[in-house]
Structure 1
Amino acid sequence: MTISLLYVDAGKGHYVPAKAMGDVLAARGYDAPVEDLFVALDSTFWHWFCKAEWRFFLKHPILERIVHGVSDNRFTNVILRALSKTKPIRTKFIAWYKERKPDVILSTNFLGGVIVGELAAYYKLDVKVYVYAADAFNNPVAGFHINVDKIFIPSFVGEENLERQGYSQDQIIRSPFPLQQSIEKMERVSKQEARSLLGLEDRFTILYNLGGEGIGSDKLIRYLAKEEADYQIVIVGKTDEQTKKHFLEITKDSNLRVHVPGFVTNIGMYMLACDIQAGKAGANALMESIALRRPFLLSQVLYAARDTTRFFKLRGVGWVEGSSKKQSEIIKTYARSEEARAEMDSHFDKLPLTFSTEAFVDLLLKNVNQNR
């Protein structure tokens, strides 16, 4: 059986779950190629556009919420469906399909759902069209397609949103969150042991995440330094030497203990070593933190992740706060109050989410086999 996994190069949150699923499926003997949707369609412009737009809006989050908030509607959905059937797209798709001969096509980006859903119907293909909603709590209205056989989403908040969009209960599948294998299979050591392994001090630690593209802010770090806070801060994400020097420079006369490892391949160990994670995060980094029982203090959310705020309010496993002063107060309370940390542990105990790519693949194959 061939299960083709398609992602879009617009953030690691789309690639990482596709790669994780592909690895597990391949280990079980399935043909599971992982491909960029627009590379598969030989569409150079759309491949460039998706990445460029995503990077631009990371730098301008307020503009992102406005633009995507206005454009995420049924009208855009109609346009996307029409574009899918233009000759360059449909001819490249059917050529790709005939070469791959997939039994199932699973997309980890909403564009895959609407494009593949439209063209599978157009060509009357005998293929299952699945979508994994990688944003966890939302999937764009613009990506809706009635011909999607199953749409997998890992949260109850996301499930409610899909129902409001018009997906049937038969189409919506509550799923585990597919963790990257380096985190799913890692040994869960204690906070103290993780710190020792990483050469960190055994003290209250903030893991400050700049994201995979290193497009982050220094506002919270500056504020904590000014307030003479006494924390250990570990800054991860894509960084260059100039960025590292910048963070060390703005904290050199403070009480903060700052480490800047930058991009790391053992991010799970750093999560285990921290008490709280802060900064920017897509759904992938956010859910990985929650899977390892570390609360996340988000400085902002993009339109695609807007219901993260509602999820945090309902489940109490993190915060969304843009004010550096209020962020500092949240951290101070959490650092000083054993009661606050115990309450957070109880929230994690009650969280109605599961995290496992192995379990996700079990569910995926169950649905494939039920509908063959």
Structure 2
Amino acid sequence: MLVVGAPFGDGHMRAAEAVGRLLRQRDPALEVAVEDICAHLFRPLRLDRVLRTAYRWSTSRFRGHPHRRLYQVAGRWPGVVCRLSDLALGAAAARWLGRMAPDVVITTHPVAGYLCARRRPAPDVPVIPLVTDSGPVNRIWFHGRYDRLLLTDPGTREHAVRLHGPASHVHVVGAPVLSALQAGRQQADSRDRLGLGQRFTVLLTAGGAGLGHGVLAAARQLADSDLDVQLILNAGDNKALLARFHDLAAHRPWLVRGVSDDFEVLLAACDLVIGKAGWFTLNEAAFSRRPTLIVDVVPGQEEWNAGAAEALGVARRVQPSEVVSWVRRYADTPDLLRTDFALDESAEFVAGWPLRLAHALDDLVTIAGPTTSRTGDAA
């Protein structure tokens, strides 16, 4: 089994890693490789790092308009984008796939999916995209000959059937968040592990790539307020943002984190999340029963993500200038988090992704039924 992601938004690789972990846990005899395709296509350039840098630039400069334009181009002319990608990288992808010799390929990025399907080492090797976005996702996800489609959002199904079809090949499995495969974490224990006190805690996260001016603006608003709350500032792998968070946290008992492999601990420790509209971050928060105030949206797909999360009742879009009043509301009366947001149904849906994925792949690989547990309760 080969699970293939790409280095753009962190959700692509997080999804790939969660699927790989599930496959390894449920069938130890199964050989599973989880790979960033870009790390293997043009090694002298370190294409994975170059594309990661380009993605961060396009989403953070000029109010994200370069990324919006790229998103629009991919949606309007998916065939052109895919063929150009294959022209540039197809031969290298074919050599890599030949060396890997997979029996089944699951992909979590649309261009990676197209390259794997176009350059599959044998005609009978199934290539299955897992669509890591929500709502009416970009048409580039469906430009390719795939054996079936896996969706993370029920709201995407009608759109996918219309563009890909037939309906029997489209399966809604939910967002494969890694925390659903791990033991539940209690809030008090998580705070102790992080060296935090047992009081109202807010997690500000800019995602794994550290994107979003709104998150930094919200942190500054909270720094200038008189609120007596604990803050966790998560900058991902953005070193510039990490330095700004450290400046804000100077002389304050705040926790600042960069690249971290224990994001589920940060979620379990907090009461409220403030961040951007990354689909997997929203689903991880929902699984942990932590509501999100969305203060930043990368133009393009995240606009749909934010709308879907609001419709589910797990998040609310607010301006950075409004976060102090919202945090004060919930810090003063934490029970309002349960009345203002509807988290239980979404948490149960996310928790069921391993079983739904097993059902969607049952003719290709046997995945034993997993046992999932709820994460820590809110204080």
* TM bucket, shorter chain: 0.7 to 0.9
Whole-angstrom distance in 2 between the partners of 1:208 and 1:231: 12
Mean CA deviation greater in 41-50 or 191-200? 41-50
Q: Which residue, 336, 342, 350 being the options, matches 2:345?
A: 350
Which residue does 1:14 correspond to in 2?
A: 12
Q: CA deviation at 1:276?
A: 0.4
Conservation of the 8 A alpha-carbon contact between 1:13 and 1:283 = yes
Q: SS in structure 1 opposite 2:254?
A: strand
Distance 1:328 1:350 in 2: 28
Q: Which residue of structure 1 lines up, in the alignment, with residue 156 of structure 2?
A: 158
Give the counterpart of 1:170 among 143, 168, 171.
Answer: 168
Q: 1:38 and 1:331, CA in 2 relative to 1: closer, same or farther beyond 3 A?
A: same
Unaligned runs of 5+ in 2: 367-379
Change (3 A) 1:243 1:125: same
Choose the corresponding residue for 1:185, options 182, 204, 223: 182
- Residue 31 of structure 1 aligns to a residue whose secondary structure is coil
For residue 233 of structure 1, report the CA deviation from its aligned partner: 1.0
Q: Does 1:116 align with 2:116?
A: yes
Deviations 1:255-296, CA, capped at 9 Å, x for gaps: x75232444332212211111011235322221111100011
Q: CA–CA distance in 2 between the matches of 1:21 and 1:136?
A: 18
2-structure distance, mates of 1:367, 1:74: 34
**How large is the RMSD of aligned CA atoms in angstroms?**
3.0
TM-aligned CA deviation for residue 135 of structure 1? 2.6
2:376 equivalent in structure 1: none
The C-alpha deviation readout for 1:118-176, integer Å capped at 9, x for no partner, is: 345xx871111100112344642123225112121121223244245444322321003
**Percent identity of paired positions between Structure 1 and Structure 2:** 20
Question: Does the 8 A contact of 1:136 with 1:158 survive in 2?
Answer: yes
- Residues 124 and 31 (structure 1), Cα distance of their counterparts in 2 relative to 1, 3 Å cut: closer
| Matched position secondary structure for 2:364 | helix
Query: How is 1:88-107 mapped onto 2 (pairs within 5 angstroms)?
Result: 89-107=89-107
Distance 1:185 1:206 in 2: 23
| Aligned partners of 2:151 and 2:157 also within 8 Å | yes
Equivalent residue number for residue 204 of structure 1 = 200
**Residue in 1 that maps onto 2:284:** 288
1:49 to partner: Cα distance: 4.9
Residues 61-92 of structure 1 deviation map (CA, whole Å, 9 limit, x = unaligned):
531453134313242x1213423553x64433
Cα distance, 1:52–1:44 mapped onto 2, change above 3 Å:
farther
Partner residue in 2 for 1:229: 227
Native 8 Å contact 2:97 2:119 kept in 1: no
Specify which of 143, 146, 149 is matched with residue 147 of structure 2.
149
The 1:229/1:50 distance shift into structure 2, 3 A limit, reads same
Note the C-alpha offset of 1:211. Answer: 2.6
- 1:80–1:115: 8 Å Cα contact kept in structure 2? no
Distance (Å, rounded) in 1 between the aligned partners of 2:10 and 2:321: 30
Note the residue ranges of structure 1 that are not aligned, 5 or more in a row: none
Q: Which amino acid aligns with 1:276?
A: L
**Structure 1's 90 and 222: CA in aligned 2 closer, same or farther, altered over 3 A?**
closer
Q: Confirm or deny that 1:33 pairs with 2:30.
A: no
- What is the match of residue 79 of structure 2? 78
Alpha-carbon distance in 2 for matches of 1:146, 1:152: 14
Task: Determine the structure 2 residue equivalent to 1:68.
Answer: 70
TM-score, normalised on structure 1?
A: 0.83
Is 2:293 aligned against 1:260? no
Residue identity in the other structure for 2:79:
V
CA distance in 2: counterparts of 1:221 and 1:94, whole angstroms: 46
Contact in 1 for aligned 2:210/2:235 (Cα 8 Å): yes
**Contact 1:137–1:308 under 8 Å retained in 2:** yes
Contact 1:280 1:300 in 2 (8 A): yes
Tell me, yes or no, if the aligned pair for 1:139 and 1:158 is still in contact at 8 Å.
Answer: yes
Question: What one-letter code is carried by the residue in structure 2 that aligns with 1:100?
Answer: M
State the TM-score, normalized to the length of structure 2: 0.81
Question: Which residue identity is paired with 1:158?
Answer: T
Shift of the 16–360 alpha-carbon distance from structure 1 to 2, 3 Å rule, reads farther
